Structure 1
């Protein structure tokens, strides 16, 4: 019985050091330059370039909403890899980014704060890599109207 227990412990230790074992990270997303404390902040975290920034068809995307009075949101247990974050300030709390003639009327922001000209940035411009125990992304909100 004792030999069986020590074999099980050795096997468990071996599994934690095997190459290819997927590590996990914690991510903090801090939001700054909010225009007001009205409504909600909607955050989308995705590893899928095809579903950035909307995360609509991404079953593995993580979306969260926090009151606009809060400035930070945390994600735990994320597998190491490449991600991008999109944030909207849903001031009227209607669960979408309001636009006028295609121009956002509410605030928006992205991980790594890439330049925004016509339309949202590509995944590659907002991409960051989680490869350690913890990471932090600072997202600066932008308002065009």
Structure 2
């Protein structure tokens, strides 16, 4: 059990370095797409939602390729839209910063704030870019749910 807890904690190392740069990338073709991330609901109606997209293992575990911070709505779900993305493989990672300190909080090695990854609905260890990645070659909408430990 301790090993699983440690593996899960590793998955959240991005929280302390979850840098939200707004870097851009050019494409050879000039064709870009829009990615809409739908978050269906929230158990906690406070704080901010920090959503980052990665386009490689490096940007999945470090500074995001692109990112946004949005306020958690008073009711319902939320949508976060990323425009101007070149075709490629992407993964979404997000956390709900309940207390506004801009980092994931822990109780020991367990995260105490909600988080989510594209293509991941249950954690059995830290997810990889490959597990979370999807192809973007047209405008796309994906749903990512928040989880809590």
TM-score by length of 1: 0.75
Q: Cα distance, 1:114 vs. partner?
A: 4.6
Pairing of 1:66-77 with structure 2 (within 5 A):
66-69=70-73, 71-77=78-84
Say yes or no: does 1:141 pair with 2:146.
yes
Q: Which runs of 5+ in 1 are unaligned?
A: 1-19
Pick aligned residue for 2:68 from 64, 67, 70: 64
CA RMSD, 1 decimal: 1.6
Q: Secondary structure at the match of 1:140?
A: coil
* Pair 114,49 (structure 1): closer, same or farther in 2 beyond 3 Å: farther
Whether the 8 Å contact between 2:36 and 2:140 is mirrored in structure 1 is: yes
Corresponding residue number in structure 1 for 2:47:
39
In terms of Rg, which structure is larger?
A: 1
Distance 1:68 1:143 in 2: 16
Distance 1:102 1:52 in 2: 20
Number of residue-to-residue matches in the alignment: 119
Q: Which runs of 5+ in 2 are unaligned?
A: 1-27
Distance 1:51 1:101 in 2: 26
Say yes or no: does 1:96 pair with 2:100.
no
Cα distance per residue 1:29-53 (max 9 Å; x no partner): 0112411110000001110212314
Pairing of 1:1-145 with structure 2 (within 5 A):
21-53=29-61, 55-56=62-63, 61-69=65-73, 71-118=78-125, 120-132=126-138, 134-144=139-149
Q: Cα distance, 1:113 vs. partner?
A: 2.4
Q: Cα distance, 1:80 vs. partner?
A: 0.4
